[in-house]
Amino acid sequence: MKIATEAAVPAPACAPLVVDLDGTLITSDLLVESAFAHLGQNPLRAGGLLAALFRGKAALKARIAVETGIDAAHLPYDPAVIELIEKARATGRPVYLASASNARYVGAVAEHLGLFQGWFASTASENLSSAAKAERLVQAFGEGGFDYVGNDSADLKVWAKARRRIAVHPSRAVERKLLGLDPAAVVLRRDASHLRNWVKLLRVHQWAKNALVFVPMVTAQRWDLVSFGHALAAFVAFSLAASGIYLINDLVDLDADRKHLSKKRRPLASGAIPVLDAMIVAPILVTLAVLGSLALNPWFTAVLLGYISLTTAYTFVLKRKMMIDVVALAMLYTLRVIGGGAAIAVPISEWLLAFSMFIFVALALVKRYTELAGRLDADLPDPPNRNYRKIDLDIVAALAAASGFNALTVFTLYISSNAVLNLYPHPQALWLICPILMYWIGRILMLAHRRMLNDDPIVFALTDRNSLAAFGFIGLILIVAAKSF
């Protein structure tokens, strides 16, 4: 379709309905999500975006739209707004789409839905927002010659020129101003379920992985309250940082998540939480994590900053590199262990580091295996944002098994070394841990093969009854081996 201009708009028999796009027709913001997708494809594009921004917001939107497309079919459309449009069309009213998003995106949405008689959008030289949009609509339909559906403060100047005004889930401040302008304005509210969605978005259930910070306290047998308090503070810092990075990751992966079998239900992908909110909260969480780390010691802060740097690199680059991604994931898990040691001022032994790397590489590979297996079973194409193919399934399983049992080999070498005598007067008891580890590693691999494992084996291991029983027995054996009789 072409951009509707004053000359192109036929004189309507009744006032047309004009609908905003971002935050109104869709529960997302195309500029924000396309910018993150743009940088996610190549972070080096940031320089080009800054240069475009100096030329104005319209130039920035155009630069992104030229290089990064959208999939209009998978955007989170608001069913209440779609219903409003269909009712207007059923009465013979013309409906137009008017958005500050770039014309490429607006045209794609209009073409996909097929509900609009025409559309208005930003170009490379004009940002069609607020007063500019109001002026364009007045030129096309006359002042008071259209009804307008919007959602935020930029729409107030458009509502001022409209005949009737409809707001979709506006902020309280915008709602007050709108009702001051027109007490008869209609306000549509979405089902927020905000707390539940935020808990899901921040992936609070994933905080279980940060329990790895307690590993050094256990292996070093530091049972005092001070050590526990420091380890707990490290747990909180890693949890806040991880949640902040999860938000950024979800912003980068929006398009892929919307096409994923289960990830499409995530709050950002489904539109349950606005992308602008996530963009604001993410840096706040990371900043709180870093500030909290300063209360411990500089070494812990350094480890946390390393974790944040690596996980950011993983989000934008490393997760698309075959095998580099699983090594990076293993390093992120290992950094939690190192951070736990730094928090209580206990050095991490080479043995624990070697064991951690092997076991976490195995679990990262199991994670990739479950993702590929799910796509294979559902007859979906290869993952679009990972450098793996469904035909890699067997080799990924083999590598996971090899890495897992190499971790067991490292543990047996540790038991046989003189280093074990420093902490365990009865190291012979530690051999009982070996069959438990054999069982646990083998069971994880078997469950993954049977499609009975979710896509995060770390979280599974920390919530699975059999795994917890295995860890409990290992804990008892460690106590016996450390006991002086």
Edge-to-edge strand ranges of the sheet holding 17-19: 118-122, 95-102, 17-19, 147-150, 164-168, 186-188
pLDDT of residue 84: 96
Write down the mean pLDDT value for the chain. 91
Note whether 202 and 180 are within 8 A (CB).
no
Asked if residue 446 belongs to a domain, the reply is: yes
Tell me the two tokens of residue 373.
């297996």
Asked if residue 306 belongs to a domain, the reply is: no
pLDDT of residue 6: 38
How large a percentage of the chain has pLDDT more than 90?
72
Name the domain boundary from 188, 203, 224. 188
Domain count, the chain: 2
Asked if residue 404 belongs to a domain, the reply is: yes
Confidence of residue 459 (pLDDT cuts 50, 70, 90): confident
Is residue 22's pLDDT more than 90? yes
CB atoms within 10 A of CB 322: 12
pLDDT of residue 1: 36
Name the domain boundary from 188, 220, 244. 188
Asked if residue 414 belongs to a domain, the reply is: yes
Is residue 425's pLDDT more than 90? no
Looking at residue 117, which CATH number applies to its domain?
3.40.50.1000
Asked if residue 478 belongs to a domain, the reply is: yes
pLDDT of residue 63: 94
Rounded to an integer, the average pLDDT of 462-479 is 91
pLDDT of residue 3: 43
Asked if residue 327 belongs to a domain, the reply is: no
**Residue 5 vs residue 138, higher pLDDT:** 138
Asked if residue 126 belongs to a domain, the reply is: yes
What does the alpha-carbon distance between residue 165 and residue 134 come to, in Å, rounded to a whole number? 13
Is residue 435's pLDDT more than 90? yes
Name the domain boundary from 165, 188, 211. 188
The predicted-structure confidence for 213-259, as pLDDT tens digits, reads as follows 999 998 888 889 999 999 999 999 999 999 999 999 999 988 888 88
Full residue range of the structural domain in which residue 366 is found: 349-485
Confidence of residue 455 (pLDDT cuts 50, 70, 90): low
Asked if residue 7 belongs to a domain, the reply is: no
Is residue 485's pLDDT more than 80? no
Rounded to an integer, the average pLDDT of 410-422 is 89
Tell me the two tokens of residue 445.
């691999």
101 φ, ψ to 5°? -70, 160
Is residue 193's pLDDT more than 80? no
CB atoms within 10 A of CB 260: 21
What does the alpha-carbon distance between residue 376 and residue 389 come to, in Å, rounded to a whole number? 10
CB atoms within 10 A of CB 291: 12
Question: Token match 């979906």: residue?
Answer: 380
pLDDT of residue 438: 97
The predicted-structure confidence for 194-214, as pLDDT tens digits, reads as follows 788 999 999 998 898 899 999
Element (H, E) at 484: none
Tell me the two tokens of residue 10.
């036929």
pLDDT of residue 415: 92
Rounded to an integer, the average pLDDT of 10-22 is 81
The predicted-structure confidence for 87-132, as pLDDT tens digits, reads as follows 999 999 999 999 999 999 999 999 999 999 999 999 999 999 999 9
pLDDT of residue 192: 61
